[in-house]
Amino acid sequence: MRHKFRNLKLDKIDHAILDNLQVNGRISNSDLAEKVGLSQSACLRRVKSLERDDVIEGYVAVMNQTAAGLPDNVFVQITVEKQTKELLSEFERIVKDCPQIMECYLMSGDADYMLRVIVSDASDYEKLHMEVLTALPGVSQIKSNFSLRTVTKKNDIPFNL
């Protein structure tokens, strides 16, 4: 069965390539080709095509945030006074520049934004809260929730649904 990804038709070999690369982005082309049943040159052409078509956005090393000294996740709901284009653009620019803000989503519902921030401890979050979050333009309300532990955290996108 073929699945569409941004108007592209991905076949079962594309899915196998993507599944393997999501598990191990450092797999050699020869090992990947063997796993998906292609020649090395055909496999490399497929991978380059997936990269060119932005199906594969890039490759990263997934860091252990505890080893980096930032073990705590805080989920922050932020409500802004009004949603003007200028205010939202400035808010989002500042958020993108803050290294401890790992994710930011514009939301529907009660809060306008949901952030995931990483901190070393509660006092580190207090500093971030006072120096960054409360200084964001147009903020009217901030609600913070500390994660007690991570139950699951996935990086791979399921293509076979």
CA separation for the pair 112, 143 (Å, rounded):
11
Burial of 85 (0-12, 13-18, 19+ CB in 10 A): exposed
Is CATH 3.10.20.600 the classification given to domain 3-52?
Answer: no
DSSP-assigned beta bridge partners for residue 75: 116, 145
- Match 């052409």 to its residue by tokens: 45
* Number of residues that make up the chain: 161
pLDDT surpassing 70 at residue 10:
yes
Domain-wise residue ranges, the chain: 3-52, 72-146
72-146 matches 3-52 in CATH topology: no
Q: Output the pTM of the full model.
A: 0.85
CB 63 within 8 A of CB 69: no
Q: What is the pLDDT of residue 1?
A: 36
Coil, helix or strand for 148?
coil
pLDDT-based confidence at residue 8 (cuts at 50, 70, 90): confident
Among the listed residues 72, 20, 24, 71, the one whose alpha carbon sits nearest the alpha carbon of residue 46: 20
Which CATH architecture fits 72-146?
2-Layer Sandwich (3.30)
